[in-house]
Chain A
Amino acid sequence: MTKADLARVVYERHGGISNKEAAVLVELILELIKKGLGDGEKVQISGFGTFLVREKKERKGRNPQTGEEMIIRSRKSVVFRPSKNFQNGFS
């Protein structure tokens, strides 16, 4: 499933907007979540899950191609914690 597929579902389920507008809205929703995370905020979507910015520590790693040892600098990453009802659908 891609952004275009998501836009099609939004378009099909709701009258009053065009397919193009649906695509813009899907993009807007993703951009707003990104902006929140970029500001260091956590983004909590009830019934879906929470996106958190996590600090990853500096560690030693290896270049898998050359085997050369190198330092992987500390950096931030996004982790997603699915909400309970999202998780439960798979067990």
Chain B
Amino acid sequence: MTKAELIEEVSRVSDLTKKHSEIIVDTVFKSIINALHRGDKIELRGFGSFRIRQRESRKGRNPKTGERVDVPAKKVPYFKPGKELKELINQTQEELAPPSPAEL
């Protein structure tokens, strides 16, 4: 699914124009980015949370030359899926699993 497909679907379900749906979808993602830049944590119940994680500096290698380089410490955005989302993506797997002997 791409952003264009998401906008299309929002427009179809909500009856808003595509243009308006696009503005709303963009606003949602921009707001999340802005909040993280401010140092805020974003918690979207049923979906998951976004926060900043600190990565320590480390020694790496330039994969082309094999040369050793220092990779500086940095902050990266991190997404943690919520309980409901985790359950949803694991549902099919559990449903397809053979029944346990107790259930037979």
Contact = CB atoms under 8 A, between A and B. Distances in A.
Contacts of B84: 34
B33 to A, nearest CB: 6
Interface in A49-75: 49, 51, 53, 75
B20 interface: yes
Interface of B is mostly: helix
B61 interface: no
A6 B90 CA distance: 28
A77 B86 contact: yes
Contact of B90 (A22, A34, A75): A75
A45 B4 CA distance: 8
Contacts of A78: 48, 79, 81, 85-86, 89
Interface residues of A, number: 48
11 contacts: A1-B31, A3-B44, A9-B31, A14-B27, A26-B28, A30-B46, A36-B1, A38-B89, A45-B3, A78-B89, A91-B75
Contacts of A30: 44, 46-47
A2 B10 contact: no
Q: Chain B interface residue count: which class?
A: 35 or more
B14 interface: yes
A87 B78 CA distance: 10
Contacts of A48: 3, 29, 32-33
Contacts of B31: 1, 5-6, 9-10
Contacts of A13: 23, 27
Interface string A1-40: 1110110011001101100001011101110111011101
